[in-house]
């Protein structure tokens, strides 16, 4: 083949960091589920079930969760301001949504939802978000510290680019954790310094393990730059206790690490015994200010009771860096011009929902409570069902949108998986899918202590389906255990 006709790009000439991304991102189980869904459309009798049930997706609206009315009203009015001048509008939209849309449009240069904004995000919206954060934390928040972003994934990648110089730089990252972090590190060429969450301790962060991993990495010449902590946790669903958070802050301060606090599930807490506390509030309560600790926290409109993941709204709050570093953060943020305006508006609403006296106040709380209670009941039913089954142990779902049970697979099941060159947890999840139509994500997608097997199941299915899922799951699991019993 002459050079002229050779392909300009082949797999061999791709960036090796892309090739180094874990294979699980291609999703053996999710891919199989999609193919089965297509098959069912043309041949409905092909499997012993009539639909694929996606317990792998953290996509609330896709799974039937209804959007919060107030948020959508404001977005609609901002996107089509012509409505604000129509007499019919006041009979369709609530009065506080109309007022809020007017206020928001006044903050947006040119009142142009289709325009670029300031690259850090519209100033007036950042001011509103800073007020929301300060109210949440009871500590001041500076709007200059807020960068409005397209969800939380985009700023995580950005921060990795800022921190990682070469493969000698590492980041402490929880295992199990969302693959966003491990893949972002892989793309930047960072060294992953894993620390294992303590399953028997309710998925807490073990400071002794952190120290061991940090010292181990340093002894190998790795410069550890930061520590990722996800609270509430994905896939593990834990809410950290305050004492543990204080230990983490102290650890980062003493070891001079940037604390990367993923707080995207801050609204998803289902236990009365715990509550979400931001790492910034923890640090400030401990008396640590800007000089003491470098902290970046991430939030997003994708989760919570709002679940607006397709809107791609989010922010990062950047504190504890000197002005030179901040200029560089700003420079990198400006490369993507600005985040989308609808996402920016939505973050400002999420951080400043209707207040007492507003027309939407009661309906907003009713919608919010309905969603949260439904998630909570779903989580409880799933945890109870999983714990009732042979070989399954499931921690309480305290927060986020997931349960992450461990499953003790019989040796014969592990051997059968290995004979097929498949990971045992993938084997289990594929068997479940083929027998029930239920899609789960195997624990190996998130990492797990070697020799243990888990799966992640979301709690987002509509409540009327939960019993069906549990019944199908139980029947499958009992048959599976019988088939492979040692």
Ligand X SMILES: Cc1ncc(COP(=O)(O)O)c(C=O)c1O
Binding stretches for ligand X (CB under 6 A): 58, 151-153, 178, 180, 230, 234, 262, 264, 300, 302, 309, 314
Q: Are 294 and 320 in contact (CB under 8 A)?
A: yes
Output the six-digit token pair for 180.
Answer: 């966003």
Alpha-carbon distance of 83 to 316, in angstroms, equals: 32
CA 4 and chain centroid, separation: 45
Provide the minimum distance between the beta carbon of 259 and ligand X in the complex, in angstroms, as a whole number: 15
Contacts of 54 (CB under 8 A, 6+ apart): 33, 62, 63, 439
Provide the minimum distance between the beta carbon of 70 and ligand X in the complex, in angstroms, as a whole number: 21
Between 337 and 479, name the residue whose CB sits nearer to ligand X: 337
Nearest of 160, 155, 161 to residue 173 by alpha carbon: 160
Provide the minimum distance between the beta carbon of 234 and ligand X in the complex, in angstroms, as a whole number: 4
Q: Are 164 and 190 in contact (CB under 8 A)?
A: yes
3-state percent breakdown (helix, strand, coil) of the chain, nearest 5: 50, 15, 40
Between 153 and 392, name the residue whose CB sits nearer to ligand X: 153
Between 101 and 129, name the residue whose CB sits nearer to ligand X: 129
Between 56 and 234, name the residue whose CB sits nearer to ligand X: 234
Contacts of 423 (CB under 8 A, 6+ apart): 417, 442, 444
Provide the minimum distance between the beta carbon of 237 and ligand X in the complex, in angstroms, as a whole number: 11
Between 60 and 405, name the residue whose CB sits nearer to ligand X: 60
Alpha-carbon distance of 378 to 458, in angstroms, equals: 9
The CA R_g of the chain, rounded to the nearest whole Å, is 24
Helices 463-484 and 424-436, packing angle to 10 deg:
120
Between 234 and 344, name the residue whose CB sits nearer to ligand X: 234
Between 315 and 386, name the residue whose CB sits nearer to ligand X: 315
Provide the minimum distance between the beta carbon of 309 and ligand X in the complex, in angstroms, as a whole number: 5
Alpha-carbon distance of 338 to 34, in angstroms, equals: 34
Largest CA distance in the chain: 75
Alpha-carbon distance of 217 to 481, in angstroms, equals: 40
Using DSSP, state whether 417 is helix, strand or coil: helix
Alpha-carbon distance of 245 to 399, in angstroms, equals: 16
Provide the minimum distance between the beta carbon of 471 and ligand X in the complex, in angstroms, as a whole number: 28
* N residues, the chain: 486
Using DSSP, state whether 276 is helix, strand or coil: coil
Provide the minimum distance between the beta carbon of 58 and ligand X in the complex, in angstroms, as a whole number: 5
Provide the minimum distance between the beta carbon of 265 and ligand X in the complex, in angstroms, as a whole number: 7
Provide the minimum distance between the beta carbon of 177 and ligand X in the complex, in angstroms, as a whole number: 7
Between 244 and 300, name the residue whose CB sits nearer to ligand X: 300
Q: Are 296 and 225 in contact (CB under 8 A)?
A: no
Give, as one character, the DSSP assignment of residue 93: S
Q: Which residue is nearest to ligand X (CB)?
A: 151
Q: Are 232 and 205 in contact (CB under 8 A)?
A: no
Provide the minimum distance between the beta carbon of 174 and ligand X in the complex, in angstroms, as a whole number: 10
Between 176 and 405, name the residue whose CB sits nearer to ligand X: 176
Between 155 and 170, name the residue whose CB sits nearer to ligand X: 155
CA dihedral sign of residues 110, 115, 118, 121: positive
Output the six-digit token pair for 216.
Answer: 């181990």
Between 52 and 350, name the residue whose CB sits nearer to ligand X: 350
Question: 27-39 in b/e burial notation, b at 16+ Cβ within 10 A?
Answer: bbbbebbeebeee
Provide the minimum distance between the beta carbon of 469 and ligand X in the complex, in angstroms, as a whole number: 21
């Amino acid at each position: 083949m002459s050079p002229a006709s050779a392909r300009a790009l082949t797999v061999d000439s791709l960036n090796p960091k892309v090739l180094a991304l874990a294979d699980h991102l291609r999703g053996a189980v999710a891919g199989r589920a999609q193919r089965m869904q297509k098959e069912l459309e043309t041949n409905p009798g092909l499997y012993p079930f009539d639909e694929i049930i996606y317990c792998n997706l953290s996509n609330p609206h896709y799974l039937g969760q209804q959007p919060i009315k107030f948020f959508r009203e404001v977005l609609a009015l901002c996107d089509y301001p012509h409505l604000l001048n129509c007499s019919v509008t006041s009979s369709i939209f609530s009065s506080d949504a109309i007022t809020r849309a007017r206020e928001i449009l006044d903050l947006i240069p040119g009142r142009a939802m289709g325009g670029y904004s300031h690259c850090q995000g519209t100033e007036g919206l950042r001011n509103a978000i800073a007020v929301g954060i300060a109210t949440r934390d009871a500590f001041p928040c500076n709007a200059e510290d807020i960068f409005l972003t397209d969800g939380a994934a985009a700023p995580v990648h950005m921060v990795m680019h800022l921190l990682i110089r070469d493969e000698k730089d590492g980041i402490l990252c929880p295992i199990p954790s969302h693959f966003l972090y491990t893949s972002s590190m892989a793309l930047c060429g960072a060294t992953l310094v894993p620390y294992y969450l303590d399953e028997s301790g309710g998925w807490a962060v073990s400071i002794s393990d952190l120290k061991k991993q940090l010292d181990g990495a340093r002894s190998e010449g790795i410069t550890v730059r930061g520590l990722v902590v996800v609270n509430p946790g994905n896939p593990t669903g834990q809410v950290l206790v305050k004492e543990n958070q204080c230990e983490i802050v102290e650890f980062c301060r003493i070891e001079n690490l940037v604390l990367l606090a993923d707080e995207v599930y801050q609204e998803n807490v289902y236990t009365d015994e715990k509550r979400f506390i931001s790492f910034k509030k923890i640090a400030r309560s401990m008396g640590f200010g800007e000089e003491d600790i470098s902290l970046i926290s991430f939030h997003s409109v994708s989760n919570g009771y709002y679940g607006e993941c397709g809107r791609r709204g989010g922010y990062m709050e950047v504190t504890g860096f000197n002005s030179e570093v901040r200029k560089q953060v700003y420079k990198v943020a400006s490369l993507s011009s600005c985040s989308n305006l609808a996402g920016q508006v939505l973050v400002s609403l999420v951080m400043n929902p209707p207040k007492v006296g507003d027309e939407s106040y009661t309906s907003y709380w009713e919608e919010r409570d309905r969603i949260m209670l439904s998630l909570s009941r779903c989580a409880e039913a799933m945890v109870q069902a999983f714990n009732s089954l042979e070989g399954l142990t499931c921690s309480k779902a305290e927060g986020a949108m997931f349960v992450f049970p461990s499953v003790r697979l019989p040796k014969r099941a592990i051997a059968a998986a290995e004979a097929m060159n498949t990971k045992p947890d993938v084997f289990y999840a594929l068997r479940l899918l083929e027998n029930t139509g239920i899609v789960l994500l195997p624990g190996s997608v998130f990492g797990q202590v070697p020799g243990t097997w888990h799966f992640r199941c979301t709690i987002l299915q509509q409540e009327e389906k939960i019993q069906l899922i549990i019944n199908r799951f139980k029947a499958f699991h009992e048959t599976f255990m019988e088939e492979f019993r040692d």
